[in-house]
Amino acid sequence: MMIEKSGSIRLRDIPVAGSLPPEQQALAAGMVRVTHLYRSALKVAVTQMEILDEEFACMYDHSPIHHIEYRIKSLDSIVDKLKRRGYEITIDNIYAHIQDLAGIRVICNYLDDIYYLRSLLTRFDAFKVIREVDYIKNPKPSGYRSLHLVVNVPIVISEGTMVLPVEIQLRTIAMDMWASLEHELRYKSDRQFTDEDATRLRLCSDAISEIDQEMQDIYQDKQPRYQA
């Protein structure tokens, strides 16, 4: 199942684009081009993940991917990130300094599924992993767990071939549940988030991690497994 989180940026979506000075109009038009290109890279990467999932189902009678979510960063988020890092708001700086403009979240059934998908992505000739952070083996202080990859994805456009980074987050269903609820409790609750809340959420994360491992062990006892 594929879930898209946001739509493309169009020129008419940018406030008062027609009344901007010429150089800013060029920036606005450039943003439309940027989102189109990154959306194309998303399509390539998502399609490849679908192909892998279907292959596993044929070979092992097991689908490692529960569902996939994907999104393009909003214009506001792009601008805010460049400002926080002290960069001028230009198209060149977007290409040079933002690696998570296009993002995919792959929700897997079991822990082994995450690392098998990771091993395939690192071996692909077409894709090149340029960054990897393992928050499963080394969770964040909050308790957050996920495997993050940034992968260079080639796309074919009218001018030739272009390579763009796509961030891929791999996590189990349980990890995704924790991350979604933690975000809701930390940032969207009406009451103040306390240190005690943070401690309880870390304990929940530890408990969920143990459940993930136990579910993995039960599955391994019942089914032959592919090898990474």
pLDDT in tens, 101-127: 999 999 999 999 999 999 988 888 889
pLDDT in tens, the chain (228 residues): 555 555 444 444 444 444 445 656 677 778 888 989 999 999 999 999 999 999 988 988 889 999 999 999 888 888 889 899 999 888 999 999 999 999 999 999 999 999 999 998 888 888 999 999 999 999 999 999 999 999 999 999 999 999 999 999 999 999 999 999 998 998 887 788 899 999 999 999 999 999 999 999 999 887 766 555
- pLDDT tens digits, one per residue of 63-89: 999 999 999 988 888 888 989 999 988
Q: What is the DSSP letter of 64?
A: -
**So which residues are the catalytic ones?**
167
In a domain? residue 228: no
CA distance 36 to 7: 10
Using an 8 Å Cβ cutoff, are 150 and 129 in contact?
A: yes
In a domain? residue 12: yes
In a domain? residue 172: yes
In a domain? residue 182: yes
Torsion of CA 186, 187, 190, 196, to 10 degrees: 20
CA distances from 8 to 2, 4, 35, 92 (A): 17, 11, 6, 19
**Three-state SS at 85:** coil
- Give the total number of structural domains in the chain: 1
In a domain? residue 10: yes
CA distances from 224 to 43, 61, 178, 180, 215 (A): 32, 10, 29, 32, 15
What's the CATH number where 79 sits?
3.30.460.10
Q: In terms of residue numbers, what domain contains 22?
A: 2-222
In a domain? residue 65: yes
Which residues make beta-bridge pairs with 151? 129, 166
